[in-house]
Amino acid sequence: MNFLVTGGAGFIGSHVCERLLQAGHSVWALDDLNSFYSPAVKQRNLAEIAAHGGPFEFINAELADVKALKSLFERVRFEQVIHLAARAGVRPSLDEPEFFQQVNVEGTVNILEAARRQGVRKLLIASSSSVYGVNRKVPFAESDPVFSVISPYAASKLACEALGHVYHYVYGLQVAMLRFFTVYGPRQRPDLAIHKFARLISRGEPIQVFGDGATARDYTYVTDIVDGMMAATGRDFGYEIFNLGGSQTVTLSRLIELLERALGKKAIIERLPLQPGDVPLTYADITKSHAMLGYSPKVGIEEGIPRFVEWFRRQRAS
């Protein structure tokens, strides 16, 4: 089967490309290698994907480049598209809300249009737990109201969910919106908390902790996320939203303790006020994902953090 993975050189995308190749599929990865973090990191990811062998092609293009997308979709008949490319991050979106809408929302329209015109039968599109906003009901279920988003990033992802429904309802595309809950593991973006904290703690530099450490996240190991995505590629549905999370909550203080233990070094903590856009809690109800996809996360935080630190140390040594 021919798969297009947008954002295929990134953290989650590179793992998805590898898993698809291992399953015997042909993979095209589209990424613009932007400077949000070092393009050299993505180049290394691409090299690791290519090392697996199998039919793989990289396309360096932006989501805004409609001409490049049209050319690609005319050249290759894709059975499925996995759309992960986006500008990410709650805090960066507060500084550039217009840019986030342009890349995330307009970019998703461009992918949906290209898929519609070619007759692609199924798309998986990355959403985010941030769409739940300040939801007071826990755990968060796909049926919960989502009208309390508190960042431009979350708003852009909610808009993409609405667009996915439009393209299913009007044009008959199968669309799965995947709400990811704080993904971590090997190749995690260097700006994300676990990777950034590990880097600073190992250097003996202070880490910035916003609030008293009581905020909690549903951390999800990347292999569990990919398991859920692969299951979605093999199921038929119309339009569905799926939570992909670890279905457990970990406070920021506990996360730091686990990193300290795995690194063998104490953190120097700089306390700062809570930041606008940050939600106090995320927690995935995975009942629907389990029932429809057989999704069952296997890697808990006590196992996942040491795994991440092992990868982190190998990267520093290489």
Does the active-site annotation cover 171? no
For 35-38, the CB contacts below 8 A with 24+ separation are 36/87, 36/88, 36/92, 36/191, 37/189, 37/190, 37/191, 38/190
Distance, CA of 309 to CA of 318 (rounded, Å): 14
Q: How far apart (Å, rounded) are the C-alpha atoms in residues 177 and 4?
A: 16
Task: Kindly report the backbone phi and psi dihedral angles of residue 155, in degrees, each rounded to the nearest multiple of 5, phi listed first.
Answer: -65, -35
Q: Which two tokens stand for residue 94?
A: 């507060």
Four-point Cα dihedral 287, 288, 291, 292, nearest 10: -160
Q: Which helix (H) or strand (E) holds 301?
A: helix 301-317
Query: Of the listed 132, 153, 283, 295, which one is catalytic?
Result: 153
Backbone angles phi, psi at 234, to 5 degrees: -100, 0
Counting Cα atoms < 13 Å in the Cβ hemisphere of 267 gives: 24
Catalytic sites, residue numbers: 153
